[in-house]
Amino acid sequence: MFERLPSNWMLAIKSIGYWFWLIPVLGIPLSHYWSLNSQYANAWPWLVVLVVFGVIPLLDFIIGRDPANPDETVQVPQMEQQGYYRLLSLATVPALLGMLGWSGWVFINHDVWSWVGQLGWILSVGTVTGAIGITVAHEFIHKDPQLEQNAGGLLLAAVCYGGFKIEHVRGHHVHVSTPEDASSSRYGQSLYAFLPHAYKHNFLNAWRLEAERLKRKNLPTLHWRNELIVWYAVSALFLLSFSLAFGWLGALFFIAQSIVAFTLLEIVNYVEHYGLHRRKLDNGRYERTNPTHSWNSNYLLTNLFLFHLQRHSDHHSYAKRRYQVLRHFEDSPQLPNGYAGMIVLALFPPLWRAVMDPRVRAYYAGEEHQLTGSQLI
């Protein structure tokens, strides 16, 4: 639909379209409002989940891909200096935290819902804190300004996944698409084999990386300058606040939406790197990360919702590039749908493998030996 528009037009459209993050955030209070006095009260809390994972994948096909890359010599320097894009992403922080606190109040006080409605509410809120909150946090933790670093840590603490701030930057980006990376899924590995391994090893690796950093400063692991202790303490404060405000059910709600959010993150990790790996060189090192080591998805709609996260190939090659100037590379391996649709597909391993395994094999055609030994981490 937009593939023939001039690049300048597309960049102007996208500068406004990045505000689409407000749609799922506002979808939470709207779904609650529409459930009031409704004979389908238990259905409305599922609204955000159904739209994100049912409607958006279809709209991705209808709306199509985004052809626009900014000009490197003129537009990229200008766009990276524009405070508008930074303020746009920072605006998500108070909106998401406010939505989270209000959602906890609704969970406790809206007694019309049965467990079915409550489950839908937790999944919807967790989808927003995961899809929007962690995505924006991911953008922030790759940037140098302390304001953005702290904003990213705060959003991750709100879903009890502060270790991502350490492990993702210092672990995943170093070892991506190698057997050393727990966030890079292997060819033939199911989502359900990937998830427990990712939870465990990413948590442990974050502690290892932070302990090594502190050791270089001649400090013990259990020190107030341990960043993990800081962000897990913030998560504990969130939990305490929900407990004091809403009782044990409030604490349950906070923990449950956190699990949904960081599980969504790890499913995205599974999708982003499935079956791809960096070749080992004769000197024993892995080749440098380039745009061929991550799956790219250039569907316009989901890229607007996710601040260009789906241009993941460029992100892994140039991690500090801001979201508004990330590029699409035609020679990167391409996903057949946006992340929302691919997440649904990943939940069904036989369907996932039927769609993705031929793409992986085609990508390594002529060097199928690259797939051997890449089955498991």
Does the residue 376 lie in any domain? no
According to DSSP, residue 117 is labeled H
Task: Note whether residue 94 is domain-resident.
Answer: yes
End-to-end Cα distance, the chain: 40
Number of domains in the chain: 1
pLDDT per residue as tens, the chain (377 positions) = 677 777 888 899 999 999 999 999 999 999 999 999 899 999 999 999 999 999 999 999 999 999 889 999 999 999 999 999 999 999 999 999 999 999 999 999 998 999 999 999 999 999 999 999 999 999 999 999 999 999 999 999 999 999 999 999 999 999 998 888 999 999 999 999 999 999 999 999 999 999 999 999 999 999 999 999 999 999 999 999 999 999 999 999 999 999 999 999 999 999 999 999 888 888 878 888 888 889 999 999 999 999 999 999 999 989 999 999 999 988 899 999 999 999 999 999 999 999 999 999 988 876 666 665 454 33
Q: Which SS3 state, helix, strand or coil, does residue 194 take?
A: helix
Assess if residue 2 is contained within a domain.
no
DSSP secondary structure code for residue 371 in this structure: G
Taking Cα atoms as reference points, which of 360, 327, 271 lies closest to residue 57? 271
**Angle of CA points 128, 130, 136, to nearest 5°:** 95
Two tokens at 123?
Answer: 């999944």
Residue numbers of the domain that contains 202? 7-275+285-371
